[in-house]
């Protein structure tokens, strides 16, 4: 699978610490550099028959449909697509007007991930989103009108501008709109963001973990009652609508990341990442040089990553694979560390897979971290 990072946004969300630029001055140069990178790295994936292609960002919908199609065409120069390939485009509601959707419907893109975040103005203002609550709803309906049935929306809970009643209304609206996939995250205060600055100056109150916990479990119960499957801590889908791309990450499959700050993984022991600097990225690719660094993952690194990722999903950690992959020292440490958690019910084993019971999923990252080899 291939991930393409589009490093441009109209404006900066208050909570965001991803790599992007609000200047489009070098957009054409960037697209040319990304096409060059696709060519230079065309032999890195063992499987050239792609099951998924994902445009993330940044804001991929800041591109025109023709620019998106040109990147897909470049990929097709060196890779083939499965007949049922999933091609996802992350999009902001304010970009999804009729002209854009008409052009996109004529492209191979068949899945949209819409950055809705909330249907309430107070939430959107705090997050410094570019769209309004009306645009949030209208963009979903318009996308469906243009034939995009495989839709995902992002929702953020635990905002200081929200509460459980508002959160319930957000979820009721989502169900009414018949969206088949939801990615939902607690509002997190990341370093060096506007949100962190506002909180430090007392302009905004800090999100409360207790409230976020309450809203998370309401989210899970409510969506399951409405036919969704909770298949990863932050992801819910109707049957048949799991994100194929993200599921591949969670199952440790190889992937190629194109664009500034994009990461790649060979499915075994090698990870690389592109520099998070647009100008340096373009300069390197113009000189036919890759703008990446890489590392060989140690046994400890591989173990910790397998634990962290696996315990966030309904599939859990495959104990047979764990026993095949790691040395006795790590396995003995692992058996010792899980013993008490199994006795307490914090962890369970089902069909030789180690899992966290869903009632403890809000604490999944902390539970996984307790098992890390240091």
pLDDT at 251: 84
The pLDDT of residue 142 is above 70: yes
Task: Kindly state the tokens that stand for 297.
Answer: 């993952």
pLDDT at 336: 95
> 156-180: per-residue pLDDT in tens?
999 999 999 999 999 999 999 999 9
pLDDT at 20: 65
Interatomic CA distance for residues 348 and 362, integer angstroms: 16
Task: Give domain limits for the chain.
Answer: 2-249, 298-374
Q: Read off the pLDDT of each residue in 262-287 and give the average, rounded to a whole number.
A: 94
Note whether 92 and 115 are within 8 A (CB).
Answer: yes
What single DSSP character describes residue 42? T
pLDDT at 27: 93
> 306-348: per-residue pLDDT in tens?
999 999 999 999 999 999 999 999 999 999 999 999 999 999 9
pLDDT at 330: 95
Is the CATH number of domain 2-249 3.80.30.20?
Answer: yes
Q: Which residues contact 242 (CB under 8 A, 6 or more apart)?
A: 181, 229, 231, 235
**Looking at domain 298-374, which CATH architecture does it have?**
Orthogonal Bundle (1.10)
Question: Comparing C-alpha atoms, which of 55, 74, 59 is closest to residue 24?
Answer: 59
Indicate the average pLDDT of the chain. Answer: 93
Q: Read off the pLDDT of each residue in 274-293 and give the average, rounded to a whole number.
A: 95
Q: E-assigned strands of the chain?
A: 2-6, 49-57, 80-91, 111-117, 151-157, 181-186, 229-232, 235-237, 256-258, 263-265, 270-274, 292-296, 317-318, 348-350, 353-355
Confidence tier at 220 by pLDDT (50, 70, 90) = very high
Confidence tier at 227 by pLDDT (50, 70, 90) = very high
The pLDDT of residue 297 is above 90: yes
pTM score of the predicted model: 0.93
Q: Read off the pLDDT of each residue in 10-37 and give the average, rounded to a whole number.
A: 84
Task: Kindly state the tokens that stand for 207.
Answer: 């999100």
Phi-psi region of 163 (alpha: psi -120 to 50; beta: other; left: phi over 0): beta
CATH topology identical between 2-249 and 298-374: no
pLDDT at 184: 96
> 81-137: per-residue pLDDT in tens?
999 999 999 999 999 999 999 999 999 999 999 999 999 999 898 888 888 999 999
pLDDT at 9: 84
């Amino acid at each position: 699978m291939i991930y393409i990072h589009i490093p441009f946004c109209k404006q900066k969300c208050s909570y965001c610490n991803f790599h992007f630029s609000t200047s489009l001055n070098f957009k054409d140069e960037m697209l040319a550099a990304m096409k060059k990178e696709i060519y230079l790295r065309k032999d890195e994936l063992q499987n050239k028959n792609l099951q998924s292609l994902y445009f993330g960002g940044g804001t991929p919908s800041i591109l025109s449909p023709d620019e998106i199609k040109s990147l897909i065409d470049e990929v097709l120069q060196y890779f083939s697509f499965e007949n049922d390939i999933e091609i996802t485009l992350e999009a902001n509601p304010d970009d999804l007007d009729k002209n854009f959707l008409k052009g996109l419907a004529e492209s191979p893109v068949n899945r949209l991930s819409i950055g809705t975040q909330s249907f309430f103005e107070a939430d959107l203002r705090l997050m410094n989103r570019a769209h309004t609550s009306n645009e949030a709803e209208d963009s979903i309906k318009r996308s469906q009108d243009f034939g995009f049935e495989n839709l995902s929306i992002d929702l953020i809970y635990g905002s200081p501008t929200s509460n459980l009643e508002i959160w319930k209304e957000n979820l009721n609206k989502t169900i009414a709109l018949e969206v088949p996939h939801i990615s939902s995250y607690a509002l997190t205060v990341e370093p060096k963001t506007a949100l962190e600055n506002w909180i430090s100056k007392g302009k905004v109150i800090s999100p409360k973990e207790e409230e976020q916990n309450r809203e998370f479990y309401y989210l899970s119960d409510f969506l399951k009652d409405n036919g969704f499957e909770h298949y990863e801590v932050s992801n819910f889908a109707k049957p048949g609508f799991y994100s194929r791309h993200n599921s591949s990450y969670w199952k440790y499959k190889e992937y190629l990341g194109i664009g500034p700050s994009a990461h790649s993984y060979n499915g075994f022991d090698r990870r690389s990442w592109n520099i998070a600097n647009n100008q340096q990225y373009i300069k390197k690719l113009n000189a036919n040089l890759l703008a990446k660094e890489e590392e060989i993952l140690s046994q400890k690194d591989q173990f910790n990553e397998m634990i962290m990722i696996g315990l966030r999903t309904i599939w859990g950690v495959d104990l047979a694979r764990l026993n095949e992959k790691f040395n006795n020292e790590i396995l003995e440490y692992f058996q010792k560390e899980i013993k008490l958690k199994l006795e307490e019910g914090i962890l369970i084993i089902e069909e030789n897979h180690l899992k966290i019971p869903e009632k403890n999923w809000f604490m999944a990252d902390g539970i996984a971290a307790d098992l890390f080899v240091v």
